[in-house]
Every structure is written in structure tokens, then in C-alpha cells.
Amino acid sequence: MSRKMDRLPGKIISAVFFVIVFAFAALLIYTKLVPAKYLTIICGILVLMVLVVYLLVRKLRYIIPFIIGILLMLVTVAVMALGSLYIYRTVNTIDNITGVNTEVAQIGVYVLNEDAADSINAAVDYSFGILSDLDRESTDNTVNQLDSELGTTIRTVEYASLTDLADAIMRKKVEAIILNQAYLDVIDEMDGYSKFSSMLREITTKHVETVIERTEPQLVVNPDGNTNTDEMVLTLFISGIDTRGAMTAKSRSDVNIIATINTKTRQVLLVSTPRDYFVPLSISNGAPDKLTHAGIYGINVCMDTLGMLYEEDINYYFRLNFAGFINIIDALGGVTVNSDYDFTTGAYHFNQGENYMNGEQALAFARERYAFSEGDRQRGRNQMAVIEAVINKALSPELLKNYTSVLSGMEGSFETNVPYDLIASLVRKQLNEGGSWNIVSYSVNGTGDTQKPYSMSQNAYVMIPDYSTVDKAKDLMSKVRNGEEISLQ
């Protein structure tokens, strides 16, 4: 065998192996998820493997070393292939749930169930009831879409309130109504209108898209005056929904939590605001409404309203569907949640103290409010307890046992406008430093009352804020921002 032919297979094999290793290293760098020190170690090991394989396969006539080199290369390639699969799944999942910068208002056109119209074309000559003020921008956008689609100008009749609009179609003063789907649940909650939505049939739906605004987080300034892009204070609005439509659809927010996060001091403050809190919305010109109704007008209104209440700039939102949340908890293998009370809800009983829960149990725990004297306030605390339990489990090594299942469960359960690069920097920081975070939960308080909310046409139960608890929440937020250690003890 000539010297050239003796070394040619080894050169080809080594070159192919080098290209594969280079591509894998490039993939790791591209994800931005791996800290520099780990990248250095991984790349160093891979370069060493390339060198060892080259030394083993460089001469074909040494058949045993050659075979060992081939096997070593195949094992390394198999490990990199598996790693690439995990990386792809991770990056793809993060891409799917992050950077969601738009949401849609689902505006329905409704007729009575017994009406003959089965499409918008069949209703072209109808008169359409609309709201004169509430969510008017979405209504006008929908009317314009219908005019363009039908090639004519539809006849609209304006009504000042939800009950006036509902009465108009029930009494057949108009043949159809145009209404944001999120209002149907609001009308069903009003006295005398509990069956309203069941009387209607939707003949078409139009989507009105809105851009979700965001502000950049505040970088922590070190004593020397310098900043580190991995050290920041950011504020998230966590909105919990049980939406019937897409995650991006505007809907009432049943869970309203502000998370203030200091990545340098590794502190997270969760502040829960009851859904019935009676506060002015950012779009209501000072008129108070239930906080949950802010979601009808969009995530921007939710964040701006809470920003007004707590005098905070909220950087991003994080929306979770509690019905889909059970998939995450089951994929994690269950979570341990601390309960303030001993109580029973449905088929489940929870003890005061620590309770190990699967997804269904955690959902029941997070939804219950009637078992407590403080009702929705305690439900908010329980929801924060579940979120804290999930964070703690996700930061533990146990996550690796069910990693792919957790990734699958995340899609459809979460969405956020936090950019990918910020998520990546937080992952790098956690991998670099490891360890746990100090998570503190606080719930503002209030007094039950009966008032007329901005989005409703009659009196309803509301919660008048106890501003001493709001001030306490603001003080805790300020301490987290300033790097002070917080505790409720």
C-alpha cells in the first residue's frame, strides 16, 4: 500500500469529523444559551477529540487503532446529534413563546339563534347594533372590514351600554350586533342576562390586531459606575387566563401579578392584585373599573393600569393559560406547593403546609376562592404559590429528567414579548451561577363593595383598594430595585 493511500482515508475521516464538530460548536454559539466558560470547555474537549481521532485513523495499515478511532468518532457524533436535537427543541420552543408583540381583539357579528342568516352576506341588509363608546376603535375597524368585504356600507345603530345593546337584539330593534367576544362573559354576569350569550349565534368573526408595547429593563449600576448586561432589574406583568380562543386573543385577565426581578441580587417579588380591584383603567378617563376588565382592551391597558396603580414602568408581559399550565406541572413530575390553609375543593383536599400536587390538583388549588373568607385575595396568594413552586422545580436538576416533555407542554401554555436574547442572557446567568432565588409573594388587599364599573351597565361586586397595602407593595418593589434584601417575616 502506498503512503498516500495509507493516509488518505484518515485525512478524509478527520476532515469530516472536524466539519461536524465545527458545525456543532457554531450551533452552540448561535443559541446564545451557553456561558463562555462552558463553551470554552466544550470546544476544548471537541478539539481534543478531533486530534485523538486523527492520531488513531491517520494510518490505515494500523487497523485496530483505525477502528477505535472510527468508533470514537461515531460515539462523539452521536452525542453531538442528541445534543443538537435538544438544542433545536429548546431554541424552537423559546422562539415560539417569546417575542409575541401583537394581540388580536376577536370581534364577532351575532344574530339570534332563530335568525335565518347563516353568513354575513345573508345579513347585508340588516341593521347592526354597536357600542357608542366602549372599545369603539375595534368596532370601527370591524365595520370598515365588513363594508369592504360586502362592497357596501352597513347600517349601524349606536347604544350607550352593554345592556342597551343586549336589549336591542333581544327585542329585535336590530337584527344583528357587532361585539368584542370578551364582552359576552361580562354581559352573562349581569342580573337578568345570564343566558344572553346562549341566545346568540356568531355568523362571522373579524380580528383587529394591536401592537404590544414594551420598555427596556433597567441595568444595575455597580459601585464603580459600570454596568453588566446580565445584571438588570425587570418588571413583568403575569396575566393568567382561561381563554376560549387563541392565546393572543384579548380577554379578561383572571390572574394579575407583577413580578419585579433583580438578577444581580437574585430576588423575585410577586405582587398579586385581585381581579375585582376597583381602579381607573388607563383608557377610562378616570372612571374606575374591575381590573379584570382591562384585559378586554388588551395587554397594553393591563400593564398601563397596573403601572398607574403602583407607579411602575412594566417592561414586558408574560401570559399563561392556567388550563394548559397543568401540562407543565405534569411534565415536571408534579410540584410541592405550600398552602396557607387546610381546605377541600371538588375532589381534592389540601393540608396546611406543603402539598405535593400533579397538574389537575394544582389547577384546582389555584382556582379555588369560595373556601376562603378572603376569597379572591387568597386565590391570588395560592396562584403565586403555584408559580413559585414551578420556578423552584424548574431551577432544580430534576428538570433534566423530563426536559423534552416540559418543552412540549410550554407551547400553548405560555407566551411573552420578552425577547429571545434576554431569555438567553438569563439562562446563561443561571448556568454560570447556579443556586436558588429568593422569591417573595405579597397580595394587596381591599374591601368588598357594590359599584358600577366602567365596562358594565349596572352595579356589580368590586373591591375597593386598601391603599396602605398598595403602598406596602410599592415599597417592596422599590427595595428589590435598589438591591435590598426583602422578607415578609
What gap in Å lies between CA 26 and CA 150, rounded to an integer?
53
Sequence length of the chain is 489
Instruction: Tell me what pLDDT residue 246 has.
Output: 63
Q: Taking 60 as the threshold, does the pLDDT of residue 318 lie above it?
A: yes
Beta pairing partners, 234: 261
| pLDDT value, residue 331 | 83
- pLDDT tens column, 358-396: 999 998 998 898 899 888 889 889 988 998 898 888 877
Specify the pLDDT at position 262.
94
Predicted TM-score (pTM) of the model is: 0.86
Question: What pLDDT score was predicted for residue 247?
Answer: 67
Confidence band for 3, pLDDT divided at 50, 70 and 90: low
Please compute the mean of the pLDDT values over residues 14-42 and round it to a whole number. Answer: 94
Neighbour-count burial of 129, counting CB atoms closer than 10 A to its CB (0-12 exposed, 13-18 middle, 19+ buried): buried
For residue 36, with 0-12 CB atoms within 10 Å meaning exposed, 13-18 middle and 19 or more buried, which class applies? exposed
Q: Is the dihedral of CA 133, 135, 141, 142 positive or negative?
A: negative
With cut-offs at 50, 70 and 90, classify the pLDDT of residue 432.
confident
Query: What string of DSSP letters covers 299-336?
Result: HHHHHHHHHHHHT----EEEEEEHHHHHHHHHHTT-EE
pLDDT for the residue numbered 178: 98
Amino acid at 144: N
The partner residues of 439 in beta bridges, in order of sequence, read 268
Per-residue confidence (pLDDT) for residue 236, from 0 to 100: 95
pLDDT tens digit string along 103-146?
999 999 999 999 999 999 999 999 999 999 999 999 999 999 99
> If you average pLDDT over every residue of the chain, what do you get?
90
pLDDT per position as a tens digit, 174-198: 999 999 999 999 999 999 999 999 9
Output DSSP code: residue 234: E
Over residues 438-485, the pLDDT tens digits come to 999 999 999 999 999 999 989 999 999 999 999 999 999 999 999 999
Residue 448 CB contacts under 8 Å (≥ 6 apart), including other chains: 461, 462, 463, 464
Instruction: Render pLDDT for 46-95 as a digit per residue (tens, 0 to 9).
Output: 999 999 999 999 888 889 999 999 999 999 999 999 999 989 988 988 88
Q: How far from chain centre, in Å, is Cα 419?
A: 12
Q: Positive or negative CA dihedral for 474, 475, 476, 480?
A: positive
- Residue 488: pLDDT band by 50, 70, 90 thresholds? confident
- Which residues make beta-bridge pairs with 280? 288
Q: Select the more confidently predicted residue: 10 or 400.
A: 10
Amino acid identity of residue 332, one-letter, is L
Confidence of residue 397 (pLDDT cuts 50, 70, 90): confident
Rounded to 5 degrees, φ, ψ at 352 are: -65, 130
Tell which residue, 168, 93, 157, 102, has the closest CA to residue 424: 93
Split at pLDDT 50, 70, 90, the class of 7 is confident
Does residue 217 contact residue 69 with C-beta atoms inside 8 Å?
no
Q: What is the pLDDT of residue 400?
A: 67
* Per-residue pLDDT band at 294 (split at 50, 70, 90): very high
**Does the pLDDT at position 245 exceed 60?**
no
- Sequence-ordered strand ranges (E) for 154-199: 155-159, 176-180
